[in-house]
């Protein structure tokens, strides 16, 4: 999608530059083309923000949840192992 967006922006920029330089005396750009360029750039920015929000942030949240889950399992195993050691040592003291 990014490649397509770059192609569209490049085409619009070439059209704008061609329009400005085709007549040396005319230094103004057609407001319709400028408005279209700003509209396309704004739309692309919103699409990129949406992509970041949905795809990237979702993936980061998923990875964090997996790390937290692994950490909980590791802590649970460590605590159960330490309880088992305490029981064995306390059993050995009794006579």
Q: Does residue 92 fall inside a structural domain?
A: no
Q: pLDDT band at residue 89, thresholds of 50, 70 and 90? A: low
Residue 94, in any domain of the structure: no
Task: Give the pLDDT of residue 95.
Answer: 47
**What pLDDT, in 10s, does the model give residues 30-88?**
778 778 888 888 988 898 888 888 888 889 999 999 999 999 998 888 888 777 666 55
Domain tally, the chain: 1
Does the pLDDT of residue 92 top 60, yes or no? no
- C-alpha–C-alpha distance, residues 95 and 77, integer Å: 30
Is residue 59 domain-resident? yes
Residue numbers of the domain that contains 69: 2-87
pLDDT at 88: 55
**CA pair distance 13, 55, nearest whole angstrom:** 30
Predicted local distance difference test score (pLDDT) of residue 82: 75
The answer to whether residue 93 is domain-embedded is no
> 60 lies in a domain?
yes
36, 12 contact by CB (below 8 A): yes
**Residue 95 belongs to some domain of the structure:** no
Does residue 63 sit within a domain? yes
Classify residue 31: in a domain, yes or no.
yes
């Amino acid at each position: 999608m990014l490649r397509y967006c770059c192609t569209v922006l490049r085409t619009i920029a070439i059209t704008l530059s061609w329009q400005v330089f085709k007549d040396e005396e005319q230094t103004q750009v057609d407001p319709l083309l400028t408005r279209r360029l700003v509209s396309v750039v704004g739309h692309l920015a919103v699409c990129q923000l949406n992509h970041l929000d949905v795809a990237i942030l979702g993936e980061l949240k998923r990875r964090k949840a997996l790390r937290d889950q692994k950490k909980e399992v590791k802590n649970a195993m460590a605590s159960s192992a330490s309880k088992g050691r305490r029981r064995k040592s306390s059993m050995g003291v009794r006579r």
